[in-house]
Structures are given as structure tokens and as C-alpha cells.
Structure 1
């Protein structure tokens, strides 16, 4: 990272909190050097590496903050990290694939200023550079098990397994590891597993002090960092009467809990002090209660529920009267009186954890260190102010709902985001793009076009030529699908004008010309963009048109 990037952090908290680290925060990501080097080595030398662990253990942070920068320094040929759901919001109609998982994955692999090719094989071939293996990572692969994606999931895994000279890294939550191995293991000759655990006490202390020093020049004395770590490792089992029944020491520090404590430390840092004093008060339970309240509040807002009631429900169902953890087996549609989607959302935010057993999935508190803070929070929640739900939280909830196979909930959240940010053009763009994607998924092409056209007007005000080009291509493809060939031609020509170097917009334009009977014009465009590869999209279309023009079979 450049020096001016570090300076930019000096005005901000040097800890990301509940979100994962980003690639630009490499110098702030500490305590995982050995894990970063080991995962990088496995990824470079094995056909398939699976990085697994519970939600919140730091898999995404390890990938972005540790593994990717390590490989960049080695000069490895590595694609941007892919996702099968969520990720950057884009008009899905712009990506010519009927598989929703593949559409998202393809879009996360290419810059936002261009469109991806049709299939996984083509994009991987285009990314090849000489004899070096291409390193491909897909994060949060467990999302492909949500909703009704069985056929799409099998197609995706088969396409990844068929790729040549590609080393694949899949990041998966541990409760989906066995399912992933059953479906993907046979397709790869050489599979390596890496289970990510918590931070050692030494690594955790380093992760407290070094980011502050790197970003701000302030100091966290070793004694303060060690006290925070020790308190994070201390698990107290407290019953309903407030009596401590047991005390134990955890083997490692949960990174999500560490981030919660570090954010709290930053908020309470004495004004004007460059270093924390030895008598600075340690309040790990308060930090964990704050983090739990925020996570539960986000889930409550996403499902339009009362956060106080949801907090009380979580404590009652998952903390026994004696203070120990309780396990709740998952029901067919509901668990402990709430829809399973609510519990999945709580597990995704590190409040609960999914267990896989012979009788099926079950849920329990994500970490024993949360038992006491969750019980305390349930008694105090009624006096707390509900967390503020920002439009960005609504958009995240919409993405989660789509991944969960609930478009109705996704649509409600996207509309709430749009109405809550009436004067925020960026949120309006994202919210209406999501609404267009929802309509596109249910094959309501007219409504999808209407939503995308609204986004197009907003993008024009931002003078974002690349984004305008992509949106024009999406609307043009919808016009073609609706049989309005003339409109499709005009839109795709306009898209090509905004993105003249993008070959895939030109291919779509050629397709529209061919549909209108202008085969010669289509062939001329295809000749300018097709490659020698047999499966090249432009070459295939070119061959078909030439056959039609000559009257011979394609």
C-alpha cells in the first residue's frame, strides 16, 4: 500500500469491525502470516484447495487481506475473488447466461467497465497468461446451497472442474464442507483442505496493536493488548440469578469478537492521548453486547421484526437457565418458532452457528464466549435504542433475501432502501438495479426494462460512461428477448458507442442485426472480434450466419 493510503486511514478507525478486510487494507491485516502463506502455497500447487471454517472466523479477510497480496507479490496469475451471490450490484440481464450463479460469478471476475463473456470456460481462457496456472478463488460458496439452485450448482461445479491449467480455491462455511466435497471432490484429482481457526493469543495481541500503530502512530501498550486478549479468552457460565457457575479458557480468539473489542477500544480512546494507559478500563463484555445488538438489529430490520423481541428469543432459546448453551434442531420451515431464514441470517452474522449432525442441521450460539453477553443483553435490550437501519443495510438484506430464494422479501427491502434514500443517487441506482434484477429473474421483462431505464437516467446524471454502456446493453438484451429487434439494435449501438473496446457488446449487436435479417452486417462485426478458439462465441455465431447465407447446414 502506498504511503498516502496509510495517511488516509489516520482519520478513520483502523479496524473494519464486522465487515471483512479489503485488499487495500493489507497493512492493517495482521496476525495471519502463517495461514496466508500456507493457503497460498496450497492454492498454487493443488488443483483444488478448500478453505473452510465457521461464519465470522475470517475466511474472507484472510483471502483479501493476506492471501491475495501475498500472491500479487509473487507475480502469480490470479483472478479477482469471485462470488456466486451478493457482490457488486449489476444489471443481471447484461450477462448472457441463464444460470444465476454463473451470472454473478462471471460479473465478479471482470471490471465494472465491461461485460463478461458467456461462459466460465471462455473467461478463464481469456485470463490465461502463458504456462503459469491461473489461480481462481470463489468466496462464500455455501450460498449456492440456498434456494432452489440444484441444477445451477451442478452446472457451475462441472464447469469449474473442466477448466484446464486452473488451480481453484473455494471458501466455504464448515457446515457445508461435506456437501461440497460430495459434489466437487470427484471432479478434481488433487484436493487440499485447510481449516481456519481462531487467533492465537500472540497473534490476537498483534492484531490489536499493529493496525493502530500503522494507521495512526498511536500506541496500544502490550499490557493493555494482553489484558484484552485474556478477557476475550475467558468464558464465564452465569445462570439466571447472576451466579457464576463455571469459568473456562477458550483455546483461541474469535476474530469477529476481536474486531468488536477493537472498535469499542477506538470509540473510547481518551481524547488527546497517543497511548492508552495501563489503568484503561477493559470492557470486553460491553463490546460484545454492542456487536450482538447491532447484528440482531440488522436481522430484525431485514425481516421486519422487533429487535428487542428477537434478542429475547435468541437468549431464551440458546442460553439455558444454568447459563450453558442450548441446541435447537432445525425444523422443516421454522426453528424454535421463527422461520429458518431468520436463523440463517443470524448465523451469517456470527450470532448463531449451524451444526451438521446425523439427524440434520441444528443451531447453537456461535461461540461460548457469547453466552454471558447474550444473556446480559436480553435483560437490557428493552432500554436500548434500536440500531439505525441505513439504506445500505436494506440493500444487503435484499441481496441476502435473493440468495435465500425469497424475492418478495428482497423486493420489499430494495423498495425501502430506495424510499429511505430519495436524495442519494448512488443508493437509488443500486436499489432500482436490484428491482430490475428481481423482475428479470421472474421473467417479467417489461418491468425489468422499466427499472433499468430508471437507473439509466440516474447514471446519465453521474456521467458514468462505462456504467451507462453496461446498462444500455442490459436493456438492449431485454429488448431482443422481447422481440423488439429495432429497439435492441439502437440500444446496443449506443452501448457500443459508450464501450467501444468491449467485444461482448459488439457480439450482442451482431446478434440483433442477424435477428433483423442483416446477416452481412452482423458477419462484418463478428470478424472484428472473434478469436481462433473453437468455442469462441463470436466464431460460433459467425459460422452459423455464414452457413445460413450460403444455404448449407450450420
Structure 2
């Protein structure tokens, strides 16, 4: 067992455990031993469980270290999705992906010429001390990647599964393990008998029991310079299994669960370790109370995950969070389930929804052939329920305006209003400006004018003279667009009474004067602008195209 740096964080956070980290992997000893035994005894073992329950960690750090290399021939754990790509040489892409996992040093072109059976036949046979062949153990992690790939590869997918069944038949010593999310289990059922050749089993991996969760908190610290008291570990576990439900009228109910989600435990413990002062060597109950801000840790995990997905798909993070909050939490403050549409789920593109599932925020379940989504755990209700800050929502709404995403801008401005404190009327005023812009873009001039009036009134009450000027200028430009330059001049002049040096208002006034047939008055306004801006304004007004 390799040595570890006693000051390195012993908790892995979001990523799975690696095989070399088996000395840090606790709480799954029974499951690891049982699956290792089943794998060696049956043709096909299906390991399944919810997203984030720890299947990959169990395989890497729990099961593989238990296998005796003198008595088993263990192939490298395969990931079909990691190697799946069209083959230029015409080979089956699923077969090439599997063989590439087993022999990454070989080119895909060379592997494309082999079947699974031919590949295994070409490998040197391993024998035990008595000269008998040892079993060949082949595991495919995240095997759901086989089943939810491109529909254009359906023929190749079926041929791959047939090859796998043929390989088990031709090589009696081959034992296959498929690890996959439980919502895909039904897709494996038709292939269990042919792949297992009559010898098959399933293992359902559940969340950690309370006792095993405490082991997963305490025991990794054996390899570090720190320890944790039982009271501190108990406090962490109690925090993770306690869920508050808050409905829309503020009523709160609390329940305590009998299990703990492994991924949430890792997120919280990893964050706690990083938060502790360097001099702390024993983590006490006081340290846990002071530094283990479970709600904050989970909220940061949630925000970070949303930010990653938003960046990957070029969607505002606040829009995804707004969607999560309004779709997956009921008015009673409990989890809500929604079905996946053909292209979008409750207005969110399906590729984004699946990315959230892959990152353990959502879980899916098949019901009568339809995928249904919900939050992975009740413990995520509180982080998801949190509103974005009004400032960030308004900022994202303005970006949406620039991109002419009227619906997104309106939704984000509404989210800002909902997130604001009761006394933060400035948020309502700035949201009204955005609503006015959206209404104007849609040709709803009367509605836009009402929002301008609302914004101007609130800004005036708060003595935000710049805001009043913006709202009145927008209103004036609406009149100008309707062909009423005189009313536009009146409104924009009023704006300049509130903010005499407002450049946007002065440019708008010059435009209104020019369209009213008074170019000299317009020139007088323009001449008072900075020279570079004056030239740009003149060019714009004289040559609108």
C-alpha cells in the first residue's frame, strides 16, 4: 500500500476514488467483498445504483484490490464513452472502444480488425500455481454509455452486445461486470441471459448507512496528521441526514434520513478539511460546528456544478438555477419529478439536463418508457431553493438583452425581483427598465411605456437621478419610434432636468430635434458633447444606415 502525505486532503470530493487510494476508501467493505465474489463466480454481474452513490469508487478502490493477481486475470476497467468514435477502417466503434480500454497502446485501426473473441484468443493464457487457467475478469464502468448513444449506431450497438455474449460462450473463463446507473437497468435485461450464459446476478448499491458513513468520515484520517472525535463525526452525519422542508408560506418541517449520500459526504468532508486552520490536529465538535458549514458547502458544490454546465453550454448560470428552483421544488418545499420531452425538459434543452444528471444534481428514472427527472437527494432542496442575488440576476438579464434573448431577459429580471428583500425597491426599478426593453422589442409599446413610468417613479423616490433620466429617455425614444418627436423632446428634456450631464439623454434629444425639423438645435446639443462622441453621433444621425 503506497504511502500518503499526512497533510494531503484524504477526502476526494467530487471525483471517484482511484485504485491507488484504496487505503482511504472506507464504509463499503461488505459490498466490495460480495461483488468481488459474485464477479468471479458468474458469467455476468450487473452492479447498479443511483448517480453519485459510488459505483466507480467501489469498483476502483473496493473491488479491484481484493482480487488476487495470482488467481485472476483482471483486464483494465473499460469506459466505452471515453474511446467511442467512428472508425475510419470500418470497425465496430463499440468493439474498438472496449479493446482500446484494454490495450490503449494499440492503434484503433489495428483493433478494428479484431472481434472481442479474437482479441481474447490472442492474449497469453494465465494459469495458477497448479497450471489451471485463471478466470478473466472484464469490467465496463458507466456501461449506460453503451445504451444511450447515438440512434444511428443502433446496429453497431447490437452487434457489440452479441460479440460480448459470443466471447463469454467461447471463453468459459471470461466473467463480465457491467456497472451502470439504475435507470438504465431495464435496457440490460434482454442481454443478461445471452451474456451471462445462464450465470448472471445483479447487485444494487445503496447509499451509506449511518454507521458506515461515520467510518467513511473517521477512518481516512488514520493516514493523516489529524484525527476526529466521535462527537464531531456524529455532528457531520446528523447535518447530512437532516432535511428541512420549507413551503411557500414559510412553514418548516424537518426529517432525519437513515442513509447518507456518499458524494455529499465527500463534498462536505473535503471542504471541512480545507477550511481548518493548519495547526488543528484533532477535529473536535467545536471545530465541526465552526467550520463545517454543511449548507454552505453543499451550496458551493451546487453553484460550482451549475457554473460548469453553464460554461460548457454557453447558457447563463442564473437561468439554469432559476429553472432548477422552479421546476424541481414544489410549493410545499419538497422534490418534484418532471418528464423528459423530445428535445427539452420543462423548457431546458435535454443535453443540459443530462449534463446535470452526469454531475449528480439530478437523477433519472424510467417509467413506462419515459425518463423522469428529480433532484438526486432531499438534502439538495435547500441549496437549490436559494435565490440568486438580485445583482447577478439583473446582470445576466442585461446580457440576455444584448443577445436579443427577450424571454431569458424577462425571466431573469423576474428572478431578481423575487430574490430581493422587501425594501430593495431599486431592484424592482431596474427590473422594470428591463421589462420595458423586452416589451419594446416585442412591439408592446403601451406596456413598455408603463414600465418606464414605474421605473422613473421608483428611482425618483430613491433620489436615483441617473435612473430617472434613463427611464425618461427610454420613454422618449419610444415616442420617437412612434413618430411623435415633440412628445419625445418633452420626455427627454425632462430626463436632462434630472441629470443634465447624461450623455445618452443628450444624444437622444439631438436625434429627436433632428427628426422634428430643427437641425440647428440638434447641432447645438451635439456640439456640447466630447469631440469623438460628437462625431459618432453626427455620423449616426446623418447616415442612419
Instruction: Sort the TM-score into its range (normalised by shorter chain).
Output: 0.5 to 0.7
Q: Of 264, 271, 274, which residue of structure 2 is paired with 1:267?
A: 274
Shift of the 96–377 alpha-carbon distance from structure 1 to 2, 3 Å rule, reads farther
- Whole-Å separation in 2 of the counterparts to 1:113 and 1:264: 40
Instruction: Tell me how far 1:114 sits from its aligned partner.
Output: 7.0
Structure 2: segments with no counterpart, 5+ residues: 128-132, 397-545
1:213 maps to 222
1:461 maps to: none
- Aligned in 2, Cα 1:105/1:380: closer, same or farther, shift over 3 Å? farther
Q: How big is the shift at 1:239?
A: 2.1
Distance, in Å, in 1 between the alignment partners of 2:324 and 2:392 is 14
Instruction: For 1:377 and 1:99, locate their aligned partners in 2 and report how far apart those are by CA, in whole Å.
Output: 48
- Give 1:376 shift: 2.0
Please state if 1:254 is matched with 2:255: no
Distance 1:212 1:374 in 2: 31
Is the 2:137–2:174 Cα contact (8 Å) retained in structure 1? yes
Q: 2:373 aligns to what SS in structure 1? A: strand
- Is the partner of 1:331 in helix, strand or coil? coil
- TM normalised by structure 2 equals 0.65
Matched position secondary structure for 2:139: strand
The match for 1:178 among 186, 190, 204 is: 186
Change (3 A) 1:175 1:14: same
Matches of 2:394 and 2:371, distance apart in 1: 33
What is the aligned counterpart of 1:146 among 123, 133, 149?
149
Structure 1 unmatched runs, 5+: 387-554
TM-score by length of 1: 0.64
Tell me which of the two structures has the higher relative contact order, counting C-alpha pairs closer than 8 angstroms and 6 or more residues apart.
1
For residues 138 and 301 of structure 1, the distance between their equivalents in structure 2, rounded to whole angstroms, comes to 30
Cα 1:385–1:289, aligned 2, differ >3 Å: closer, same or farther? farther
Aligned to 1:107: 100
Cα pair 1:315 1:378 within 8 Å, conserved: no
Deviation at 1:243, TM superposition (A): 3.4
Q: How far, CA to CA, are the matches of 1:242 and 1:267 in structure 2?
A: 34
- Residue 23 of structure 2 corresponds to residue 30 of structure 1: no
Residue 51 of structure 1: SS of its match in structure 2? strand
Distance in 1, matches of 2:70 and 2:392, equals 53
Partners of 2:391 and 2:41 in 1: CA distance = 50
SS of 1:264 mapped into structure 2: helix
CA-based RMSD: 2.5
* Counterpart-to-counterpart distance in 2, 1:196 and 1:203: 13
Q: Deviations over 1:305-334 (max 9, x none)?
A: 111211111111101122011111111111
**Cα pair distance change 1:114/1:98, threshold 3 Å:** closer
CA distance in structure 2 between the partners assigned to 1:18 and 1:135 by the alignment:
27
State which drifts further: 202-211 or 127-136: 127-136
Q: Are 2:375 and 1:375 equivalent residues in the alignment? A: no
Shift of residue 382, structure 1, vs aligned partner:
3.4
Matched ranges for 1:69-218 at <5 A: 69-72=65-68, 75-86=71-82, 98-112=91-105, 117=111, 118-125=114-121, 126=123, 128-130=125-127, 131-144=133-146, 145-148=148-151, 149-163=153-167, 164=171, 165-188=173-196, 189-214=198-223, 216-218=224-226
Cα distance in 2, alignment partners of residues 56 and 98 from structure 1: 33
Q: Residues 12-52 of structure 1: CA distance to partner in whole angstroms, max 9, x if unpaired?
A: 32211111111111111111100000000000000100000
CA deviations 1:47-91 (Å, max 9, x no partner) are 10000011111000000011011114674211010111126x9x9
Number of aligned residue pairs: give it.
377
